[in-house]
């Protein structure tokens, strides 16, 4: 089932913030443990932090002049880590000291994209065209590299499950993959017999892995215990860029060309669409804070924004509309 929210109602749901530079192209947003919202201004080469309580934005210039930072992640200690694609480096920013540190990767032209600050303090990255899973020990400051079994995998979207194992999508190899840092072993599952250009990855409270099949427009729930998948057909769209999961287990998608956020409630199998007030904003990244509010970046509009979940409520399994007409209507 698909429900849509738009027009004046949508404007009431969203809060948008305009950035100083009109062509900064914000992307890659995440939420820190202290509730601050971090994102990158890609073209401006800025790391940005927004405090929702104080409504204050801070911007920090990345030392490498052309880092082309593709993804960021915040550790449990609040340190911000980011993947510098053009510089071929791992970046670190300490919010307490306001200081940067950069580490050149062992392999030239690794093209780091996805990054994850794991719960044990390890930092992991994927080299999208080098078939590399790159680990960095934040205490010893030493790298380790692991070759992904499938060649030309084009791997993206790192996620960590409750047992500390890493999951990611092989977009070109058409596989979903698990890596166990304890055993240093990979396991791969073929997604289908046809290329699906998959995208993901998020993990729910039951350890199930969610991802997208872009070609046949399916949201997929994969259970590693049974190795079975369940699919949900998405509303018609022009492409999803990223997905996230909220504290209640709802799946959120950002669709750039459609200029909207989409919520999927697993309990009711209902999709809801929320059109962003700024037209042609090209939203490209999203993250969910501790209250369930959805934060997103608008690349073309040079804005970042929030969808207030308190304003949208929950959809029950049996949709009911309660309407009490005013008494004067029947006079």
CATH number at residue 39: 2.130.10.10
Q: Is 330 inside a domain boundary? A: no
Strands 80-84 and 89-94: antiparallel
Burial 189-200 (b: 16+ CB within 10 A, else e): eebeeeebbbbb
Classify residue 329: in a domain, yes or no.
Answer: no
How far apart are alpha carbons 170 and 195 in whole angstroms? 11
Residue 323 within a domain: no
Q: What is the pLDDT of residues 189-248, one digit of tens each?
A: 999 999 999 999 999 999 999 999 999 999 999 999 999 999 999 999 999 999 999 999
| 326 within domain boundaries | no
- Domain membership of residue 12 as a residue range: 2-311
Share of the chain above pLDDT 70, in %: 91
Residue 318 lies in a domain: no
**pTM attached to this predicted model:** 0.91
CA distances for 281 relative to 96, 257, 262, 297, 303, angstroms: 33, 9, 15, 9, 8
For 147-182, what is each residue's pLDDT tens digit? Answer: 999 999 999 999 999 999 999 999 999 999 999 999
Average pLDDT, the chain: 92
Q: How many domains, the chain?
A: 1
Classify residue 210: in a domain, yes or no: yes
Question: Residue 321 domain-assigned?
Answer: no
Q: Does the residue 320 lie in any domain?
A: no
Cα-flanking dihedrals φ and ψ of residue 7, to 5°? 65, -140
pLDDT digits (tens, 9 = 90+) for 56-102: 999 999 999 889 998 999 999 999 999 999 999 999 999 999 999 99
* 3-state SS, residue 103: strand
329 secondary structure, DSSP code: G
């Amino acid at each position: 089932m698909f429900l849509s929210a738009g027009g004046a109602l949508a404007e009431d749901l969203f809060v948008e913030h305009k950035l100083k530079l009109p062509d900064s192209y914000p992307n890659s947003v995440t939420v820190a443990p202290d509730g601050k919202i971090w994102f990158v201004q890609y073209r401006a080469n800025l790391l940005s932090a927004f405090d929702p309580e104080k409504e204050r934005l801070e911007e920090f210039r990345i030392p490498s002049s052309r880092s082309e930072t593709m993804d960021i992640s915040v550790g449990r200690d609040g340190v911000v880590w980011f993947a510098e694609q053009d510089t071929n480096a791992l970046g670190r920013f300490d919010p307490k000291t306001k200081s940067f540190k950069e580490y050149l990767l062992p392999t030239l032209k690794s093209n780091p994209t996805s990054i994850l600050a794991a719960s044990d303090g390890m930092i992991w990255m994927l080299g999208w065209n080098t078939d590399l899973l790159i680990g960095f020990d934040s205490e010893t400051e030493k790298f380790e590299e692991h070759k992904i079994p499938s060649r030309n995998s084009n791997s993206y979207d790192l996620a960590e499950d409750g047992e500390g194992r890493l999951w990611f999508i092989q977009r070109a190899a058409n596989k979903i993959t698990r890596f166990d840092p304890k055993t240093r072993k990979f396991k791969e599952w073929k997604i289908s017999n046809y290329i699906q250009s998959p995208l993901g990855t998020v993990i729910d409270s039951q350890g199930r892995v969610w991802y997208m099949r872009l070609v046949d427009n399916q949201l997929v729930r994969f259970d590693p215990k049974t190795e079975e998948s369940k699919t949900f057909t998405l509303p018609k769209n022009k492409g999803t860029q990223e997905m996230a999961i909220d504290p209640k287990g709802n799946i959120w998608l950002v669709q750039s060309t459609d200029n909207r956020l989409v919520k999927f409630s697993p309990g009711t199998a209902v999709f809801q669409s929320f059109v962003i007030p700024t037209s042609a904003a090209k939203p490209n990244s999203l993250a969910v804070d501790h209250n369930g509010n959805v934060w997103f970046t608008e690349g073309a509009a040079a804005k970042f924004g929030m969808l207030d979940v308190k304003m949208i409520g929950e959809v029950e399994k049996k949709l009911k509309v309660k309407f009490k007409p005013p008494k004067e209507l029947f006079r």
